[in-house]
Amino acid sequence: MRKYVIMGVQGSGKGTQSELLCDDLGLVHISVGDIFRWHVKKHTKLGAHVRRTMNAGELVGDDLVESVVRERLDQHDWNYGFVIDGFPRNGRQAEFFMESYDIDGVIHLELPEDEVRRRVLSRRLCPNCGMDYNLIADRPKEPGRCDICGHQLITREDDTPEALEARLSDYNEKTRPVLELFRRKEYVHDIDARPPAEEVQASIRDALHLPAYKATV
Residues at the interface with ligand AMP (CB under 6 A)? 10, 32-33, 36, 53-54, 57-60, 65, 86-87, 89, 93, 158, 167
Q: How far apart are CA 189 and CA 116, in angstroms?
A: 20
Active site residue 3: no
Active site residue 70: no
The neighbouring-strand residues paired with 143 are none
The residue at minimum Cβ distance from ligand AMP is: 33
Min dist CB 30 to ligand AMP, Å, is 11
Q: How far apart are CA 87 and CA 43, in angstroms?
A: 23
The residue among 24 and 91 lying less far from ligand AMP, judged by its C-beta, is: 91
Beta-strand ranges (E) seen in the chain are 2-8, 28-31, 81-85, 105-110, 123-125, 132-134, 188-192
Decide: 213 and 20 in contact? Cβ < 8 Å.
yes
The residue among 101 and 206 lying less far from ligand AMP, judged by its C-beta, is: 101
Catalytic residue among 89, 118, 176, 214: 89
Residues in the chain: 217
Q: Which residues are annotated as a binding site for Zn(2+)?
A: 126, 129, 146, 149
Q: Which residues are annotated as a binding site for ATP?
A: 11-16, 123, 195
Among candidate residues 123, 120, 124, the one with its CA nearest the CA of residue 162: 120
The residue among 36 and 187 lying less far from ligand AMP, judged by its C-beta, is: 36
Q: How far apart are CA 120 and CA 123, in angstroms?
A: 5
Active site residue 156: yes
Active site residue 41: no
Q: How far apart are CA 3 and CA 126, in angstroms?
A: 29
Active site residue 89: yes
The residue among 145 and 174 lying less far from ligand AMP, judged by its C-beta, is: 174
Q: Which residues are annotated as a binding site?
A: 11-16, 37, 58-60, 86-89, 93, 123, 126, 129, 146, 149, 156, 167, 195
Q: Which residues are catalytic?
A: 14, 89, 123, 156, 167
